[in-house]
Structure 1
Amino acid sequence: MRIRRKGKTVVQYFKTKREASDFAAKVEADFDKWSRLLGGELKKHSLADLIDRYIRQWSGKDHNTPSRLAWWREHYGERSLAEFNDDTVREAIARLKTEPAPHGGKVVTEADKPRSGPTVNRYKAAISAAYKTAIDGGWFGVKDNPVAGIRAAKEHTSGFGQSLSDKDRPRLLQACDASTLWPALGVFVRLALATGARRGELLKLTWADVDLKRGSILLRDTKNGDDRRVPLIGDALKALKAHAKVRRMDDARVFPGRTTETPPQVDKAWHAALTAAEIDKLRIHDLRHSCGSYLARAGLSAFQIAAILGHRSGPQLTARYVHLHAEESRELMEGALAGVLGDG
């Protein structure tokens, strides 16, 4: 007896035709039973139900995941899970590529600046992760991931990013120091340049993790899941010591917002400083790239740079084999960055 179902074939052998017929009837009955049960679950629950359940148990590191899933919920949340299929995903991807994209958190840009290929891929990855979790957890009878098999958009990137030039750096620091939108911008930028810390790592930094006496900061809950201590040198240490003298007593963060629940106005202040310094198309994340390029220019190996910046791996060798303590990093960074960010 041969059974074909959704492109799959099962072959069984029996001594008599009756045994084969009885077995075939039982298999068909089971298929119909589970098809009705699962089909009913998929029709009864919506994509919003799946997303809401996923967000309740989500504990990932990428803080943009909830907002990306919110986009899926807003545009397709009312569709039942039975209706949400690969064609819907392709329609959504086309929409992501062409619609005006949020920029700066609140202001929506013009339609001539759509989302980039890498950004579209992150939206696709977010909903795919939600479906994978649903399948593994047996939620709502979900058995298939509608995102699976849909090719990712090409990511045209240099793999490293733009670096702040020596010529532009003094003007940018001067503009940041003069910021009225966020007076701490100059301190923030110096720390990013001197440590290679990510934006989120610095914004989560608390005074309890700052050692001004020894000159180091402890970055907790980083993107790769590890804590790491980074030495402070030159102007970055001097700026942070001055900043510590005017710290707020009601907020433990080094860079508090207007309230204890909100972040500072980083983007608004950053773009105003770029305009004042007459610098185009430099992202805050490029400060991290700049630190890496300074270290590379000073002759540090790819593995040393990966360890200092907190990359999970380096070329051809995982960075877990390169263990640099804070004081070892300090010697390397002072030699590499002293001429760029002060004498240390």
Structure 2
Amino acid sequence: MASIRKLTDGRAKPWQVRITRKGQTLPPNYFRTKTEAKGFAAKVEADFDRWSKVLGGELRKHTLADLIDRYMQVHDGKDHNLSSRLGWWRDRYGDVTLAEFTADTAREALASLEMERVGRGSHPAGENSKPRSGSTINRYKSALSACFKAGLDRGWYGLKDNPFAGVRQRKEGSSRFGRCLEDDERARLLEACDQSSTWPDLGLFVRLALATGARRGELLKLEWRDVDLKGGSILLRATKNGDDRRVPLLGDARLLLEARAKVRKLDDMRVFPGGSAGEEANVEYAWRKAKESAQVETLRIHDLRHSCGSYLARAGASAFQIAAILGHRSGPGLTARYVHLVAEDSRGLMESALAGVLGGRAAE
């Protein structure tokens, strides 16, 4: 038997539903309207056994932190930002029980994300800091939504709903797909990167990104064992889509790597030992300072990858060739072996497309 009544204490959800059956009384639930309350009562009474387990059981015993921790134990994706995004949810809502974390809670949390001002690189947030963009908020939303989806699929804690299912995406700006460096911007940027005192490897890093279309994380994890200076290529391992890929190494970038190999650290196998995940703030700070000096403040590191793809497209590369070089998935017929061959066979095309693009200082 369901008891529905309206409370008069001024709460946002005044309609209370109490359900008692077979001597068992479920914890009360609250709704904004009488229609919502009646709908919930009818749903519970239609399948009382299932809902009594949900409302009175594990969802009230376990917290959002439990769900996030369990998800991270089984997650095998390549998104290096996932842990920090889920860390935000855990810090602020980790103590909330799964029964209490509703769509309204999700909306309130996203609104809070939208209002927060965040720092950049190693600099904390200040009065001049900007709030998160719509695309960033969507990534935070997707991160926690993935936890709930995994819980539903695996039957964790009696989860029956994903609170983000009905929450709309934030509008993303027109720069979502990035932009391409113009010739004058590129020359200024490379000069500024070469003069970086924060991270001396920034010039080499940017040229490799432009020459190979590699992602930031792929380059920061690059090891000398995967650099073939004689054959002129680099092997990118454990990429975002899970496949290794070999990319031709072009003129100036190749010369700079040859020079760097002669003075590299013997106790660190990475090409960019100062660009480790633990020193990500250093990379961000150096990049931001170089952008300011070159007057290309709106450029992202990921736009170097877009620029490489744009240069290839201008030179007449097919979508298939660009996908192979940049490591995009192009359907089930594009096997890892075939992608590797296409990328290697595109060396001449890349030389033609990127001739003069890398500019810069000669190998010392």
Q: Same fold (TM over 0.5)?
A: yes
Q: In structure 2, how many angstroms separate the alpha carbons of the residues matched to 1:72 and 1:168?
A: 38
Distance 1:74 1:259, change over 3 A: closer
Deviations 1:61-109 (A, max 9, x none): 1111111111111111111111100010111111111211342255225
Q: In structure 2, how many angstroms separate the alpha carbons of the residues matched to 1:111 and 1:141?
A: 44
1:37 to 53, 64, 83: 53
Is residue 245–residue 340 contact of structure 2 (8 Å, CA) maintained in 1?
A: no
Q: In structure 2, how many angstroms separate the alpha carbons of the residues matched to 1:258 and 1:133?
A: 33
Q: How far is the alpha carbon of 1:302 from its aligned partner?
A: 2.4
Please report the RMSD computed on the Cα atoms of aligned residues, expressed in angstroms. 2.8
Mean alpha-carbon deviation: is it higher for 180-189 or for 102-111? 102-111
Q: After the TM superposition, which residues 140-159 of structure 1 pair with which residues of structure 2 at under 5 Å, given as runs?
A: 140-158=157-175
2:145 to 84, 108, 128: 128
Is residue 207–residue 253 contact of structure 1 (8 Å, CA) maintained in 2?
A: yes
Q: After the TM superposition, which residues 173-184 of structure 1 pair with which residues of structure 2 at under 5 Å, given as runs?
A: 173-184=190-201
Distance 1:302 1:76, change over 3 A: same
Correspondence for 2:326 = 309
Correspondence for 1:208 = 225
Q: In structure 2, how many angstroms separate the alpha carbons of the residues matched to 1:8 and 1:243?
A: 71
Secondary structure, aligned partner of 1:78:
coil
2:298 to 246, 264, 281: 281
Correspondence for 1:86 = 103
Q: In structure 1, how many angstroms separate the alpha carbons of the residues matched to 2:65 and 2:277?
A: 31
1:50 to 58, 67, 79: 67
Structure 1 residues without counterparts, runs of 5 or longer: 10-26
Which residue identity does 1:200 align to in structure 2?
G
Distance 1:146 1:160, change over 3 A: closer
Q: How far is the alpha carbon of 1:320 from its aligned partner?
A: 2.1
Q: In structure 1, how many angstroms separate the alpha carbons of the residues matched to 2:162 and 2:122?
A: 30
Q: How far is the alpha carbon of 1:334 from its aligned partner?
A: 0.8
1:320 to 320, 334, 351: 334
Q: In structure 1, how many angstroms separate the alpha carbons of the residues matched to 2:292 and 2:59?
A: 51
Is residue 117–residue 153 contact of structure 1 (8 Å, CA) maintained in 2?
A: yes
Is residue 119–residue 129 contact of structure 2 (8 Å, CA) maintained in 1?
A: no
Q: How far is the alpha carbon of 1:38 from its aligned partner?
A: 2.5
Mean alpha-carbon deviation: is it higher for 35-44 or for 183-192? 35-44
2:260 to 243, 247, 264: 243
Q: In structure 2, how many angstroms separate the alpha carbons of the residues matched to 1:96 and 1:284?
A: 23
Distance 1:263 1:244, change over 3 A: farther
Is residue 101–residue 108 contact of structure 1 (8 Å, CA) maintained in 2?
A: yes
Secondary structure, aligned partner of 1:96:
helix
Q: How far is the alpha carbon of 1:159 from its aligned partner?
A: 5.1
Is residue 256–residue 262 contact of structure 1 (8 Å, CA) maintained in 2?
A: no
Distance 1:47 1:253, change over 3 A: same
Which residue identity does 1:226 align to in structure 2?
D
Correspondence for 1:67 = 84
Q: In structure 1, how many angstroms separate the alpha carbons of the residues matched to 2:316 and 2:173?
A: 27
Secondary structure, aligned partner of 2:306:
helix
Q: How far is the alpha carbon of 1:289 from its aligned partner?
A: 1.2
Secondary structure, aligned partner of 1:140:
helix
Correspondence for 1:15 = none
Deviations 1:287-340 (A, max 9, x none): 111111111222222222122111123xxx778287452431211101111232
Secondary structure, aligned partner of 1:230:
strand
Is residue 152–residue 160 contact of structure 2 (8 Å, CA) maintained in 1?
A: yes
2:125 to 108, 115, 126: 108
Mean alpha-carbon deviation: is it higher for 92-101 or for 264-273? 264-273
Secondary structure, aligned partner of 1:218:
strand
Q: How far is the alpha carbon of 1:192 from its aligned partner?
A: 0.5
Matched pairs, number: 319
TM-score of the superposition, structure 2-length normalised? 0.80
Q: How far is the alpha carbon of 1:151 from its aligned partner?
A: 1.4
TM-score of the superposition, structure 1-length normalised? 0.84
Q: In structure 2, how many angstroms separate the alpha carbons of the residues matched to 1:207 and 1:282?
A: 28
Q: How far is the alpha carbon of 1:208 from its aligned partner?
A: 0.8
Secondary structure, aligned partner of 1:179:
coil
Is residue 54–residue 158 contact of structure 2 (8 Å, CA) maintained in 1?
A: yes
Q: How far is the alpha carbon of 1:183 from its aligned partner?
A: 1.0
2:93 to 72, 76, 81: 76
Distance 1:179 1:75, change over 3 A: same
Q: In structure 2, how many angstroms separate the alpha carbons of the residues matched to 1:8 and 1:221?
A: 50
Q: In structure 2, how many angstroms separate the alpha carbons of the residues matched to 1:237 and 1:126?
A: 38
Correspondence for 1:271 = 288
